Amino acid sequence: MWTSGLYVISAEKLHPHRSLLSVMEASLKGGATAIQLRDKESGKQALIEKARALQQLAQRYQVPFIMNDHLDVALAVNADGVHVGQGDFPLTEARKLLGKNKVIGISTHTKEEAIEAEQQGADYIGAGPVFGTSSKDDTEKEIGVDGLKEIVGHVSIPTVAIGGIKLNNTANVAATGVSGIAVISEIVMSDHIEDTCSRFTEILTETRERDV
Ligand X SMILES: Cc1nc(C(=O)O)sc1CCOP(=O)(O)O
Ligand Y SMILES: Cc1ncc(COP(=O)(O)OP(=O)(O)O)c(N)n1
Query: Could you give the string, one character per residue 103-142, with x where binding to ligand Y holds by CB under 6 A and - elsewhere?
Result: --x-x------------------x---------x------
Give dist(CA 98, CA 74) in Å, integer: 9
Least CB distance from residue 161 to Mg ion, whole Å?
Answer: 17
Neighbouring CB atoms inside 10 A of 63's CB total 22
Give dist(CA 158, CA 84) in Å, integer: 15
| Catalytic residue set | 38, 107, 136
Which of ligand X, Mg ion, ligand Y, none does 160 bind, CB closer than 5 to 8 A by kind? Answer: ligand Y
For ligand Y, give the closer residue by CB, 17 or 155. Answer: 155
User: 197 and 31 in contact (C-beta within 8 Å)?
Assistant: yes
Considering the rule CB under 6 A, would residue 37 count as an interface residue with ligand X? no
**Which parts of 146-205 interact with Mg ion (CB under 5 A)?**
none
Q: What share of the chain is helix, strand, coil (3-state, %, to 5)?
A: 45, 15, 40
CA distances from 60 to 12, 54, 76 (A): 21, 10, 19
For ligand Y, give the closer residue by CB, 104 or 182. Answer: 182
Give dist(CA 102, CA 123) in Å, integer: 9
CA distances from 81 to 73, 178, 193 (A): 10, 20, 24
Considering CB under 6 A, how many residues would be counted as binding ligand X? 15
**Which parts of 159-188 interact with ligand Y (CB under 6 A)?**
160, 162, 182
Which range touches Mg ion (CB under 5 A), out of 81-89, 92-100, 111-119, 137-145?
81-89
Binding site for ligand X (CB under 6 A): 107, 126, 128-129, 133, 135-136, 139, 162-165, 183-185
Binding site for Mg ion (CB under 5 A): 69, 85, 88
